[in-house]
Amino acid sequence: MKFFIDTANLNDIKEAYDLGILDGVTTNPSLMAKEGITGSQNILKHYVAICNIVEGPVSAEVIATDFEGMIREGEQLAALHKNIVVKIPMIPEGIKAIKYFSGKNIKTNCTLIFSAGQALLAAKAGATYISPFLGRLDDVSTDGISLIEQIRGIYDNYAFDTEILAASVRHPMHIIHCAEIGADVMTGPLSAIKALAKHPLTDIGLQQFLADHAKGNK
Ligand code: E4P
C-alpha cells in the first residue's frame, strides 16, 4: 500500500518524507489556498518545490472545467516535472481530458469520486488513479469504506490498471480499513500517518525498559 500525504505544506511534506515511508503527495486548490499560495506563477513554483522534496507522484489539480482548458493547464502542469500527475475532476469534460492524457502517457488522478459508476467511467477513460473521498462520504452518513470496497471488486473483475487512491482520509482507522480492503494508495494528513505509530503500551513499555536499564547501570 502506498502512502501519500494530502497537503501543500512543505514542512509537513518534509517531515513525512524524512520518516522514510512517503510515496507521494496530493494537493488540491483548497490546500494551496490554505498555505497562502495564490496566483498561477506561485502555484506552479510551489508544485516544483514539492517535487524537489519527494521522489514520487505529486498530484496537481487543473482549475479549468472545459476540455480545452483542462488540456492546456494539464500539459503545462505535466511539463513542470516528471513526477506531476494531472488531477482532473469527475465531470464529463474531465473524462474526455483523462482519455486524451492517457493517449499521451500523461498520468492522471480523477478526483471528487463519490460513486462506483464514476470510478468505472474514470477507469475506462484510462485514469492512472481515482480518488474516492471517503471522509466526505462519512460526513454525510454514507460509508466511504464500503464504496472503496465496491470499487475494488469492480476493478478486480476486469483487471483495470487504475489505482484506487483512497482520499479524504481523516484518521488512522481510515488508513487501516483501506489497507484491509486493498486500496492501492491512501492520502491523508501528517497527523493521521503519525497516529499509526502511537500506542500507550509502547510508551509505557519503553519507559520501563529505560528505567530498568538506568537502575542496572548505576
Ligand atoms: C484528495 O486528493 C483531496 O485532496 C482530499 O483528500 C480531500 O480531503 P478532505 O475531504 O479532508 O478535504
Report which protein residue has its CA nearest ligand 1's atom 7: 168
The pLDDT of residue 15 is 98
Q: pLDDT for 39-69, tens place per residue? A: 999 999 999 999 999 999 999 999 999 999 9
Q: pLDDT for 141-195, tens place per residue? A: 999 999 999 999 999 999 999 999 999 999 999 999 999 999 999 999 999 999 9
Does the beta carbon of 111 lie inside 6 Å of ligand 1?
yes
Does the beta carbon of 109 lie inside 6 Å of ligand 1?
no
Q: pLDDT for 88-123, tens place per residue? A: 999 999 999 999 999 999 999 999 999 999 999 999
Q: For residue 59, give the H/E element and its range.
A: strand 58-61
pLDDT confidence tier of residue 216, bands split at 50, 70 and 90: confident
Pairing of the two strands 58-61 and 2-6: unpaired
Whether residue 120 contacts residue 154, with contact meaning beta carbons closer than 8 Å, is answered with: yes
- Per-residue pLDDT at 217 exceeds 90: no
Amino acid identity for residue 131 in this structure = S
| Reported pTM | 0.96
Pocket test for ligand 1, best of 6, 62, 85, 193 (most atoms within 8 A of CB): 6
CB atoms within 10 A of CB 163: 18
d(CA 2, CA 59): 14
Pocket test for ligand 1, best of 28, 191, 193 (most atoms within 8 A of CB): 28
Length of the chain: 218
Amino acid identity for residue 34 in this structure = K
